[in-house]
């Protein structure tokens, strides 16, 4: 009888592990609203007189528990603010910023735990008089 109980408890642990239930995600604490999670900056070439920069910052929003982040962008003297929401099931994944191959463009994405892939998700781009933001791809992790 003890062997059967031990077998069932071992199977339950294996099933819960396979379903992704673990202590690290169950005890996740969302960052405090206003916390800068990632930021990058680069100089704007061709304007050596003013030393202007293009910068992007991802900040925890007041709706962080729903996966909402603020995006603060500066391109020279121009500023823009936007929002993006992480995909369903990815609310606890930390956003990260990477430089794009396009000039004055950054990609905001994320990593899935135990995966080295950078999932591109949101693009921020700037030119002389415009700053643009848009979603690149859709994901779901439910």
Q: In which residue are the tokens 């700053």 written?
A: 131
Tell me 91's DSSP state. Answer: T
Helix (H, G, I), strand (E, B) or coil at 26: helix
Residue 12 pLDDT > 70: no
C-alpha dihedral, 90 to 94 to 99 to 103, nearest 10°: 60
- At residue 102, the pLDDT reads 95
Q: How many CA atoms lie within 13 A of 32 on its CB side?
A: 2
What sign does the dihedral 97-129-101-45 (CA atoms) show?
Answer: negative
- Which is higher by pLDDT, 136 or 16? 136
At residue 28, the pLDDT reads 81
């Amino acid at each position: 009888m003890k062997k059967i109980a031990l077998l069932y408890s071992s199977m339950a642990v294996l099933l819960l592990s396979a379903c992704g239930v673990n202590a690290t995600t169950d005890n996740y604490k969302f960052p405090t609203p206003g916390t800068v999670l990632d930021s990058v900056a680069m100089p704007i070439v061709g304007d050596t007189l003013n030393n202007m920069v293009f910068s992007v910052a991802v900040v925890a929003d007041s709706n962080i528990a729903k996966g909402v982040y603020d995006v603060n962008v500066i391109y020279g003297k121009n500023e823009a603010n936007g929002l993006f929401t992480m995909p369903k099931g990815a609310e606890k994944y930390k956003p990260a910023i990477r430089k794009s191959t396009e000039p004055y463009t950054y990609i905001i994405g994320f990593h899935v735990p135990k995966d080295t892939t950078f999932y591109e998700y949101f693009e921020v781009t700037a030119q002389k008089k415009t700053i643009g933001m848009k979603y690149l791809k859709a994901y779901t992790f439910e």
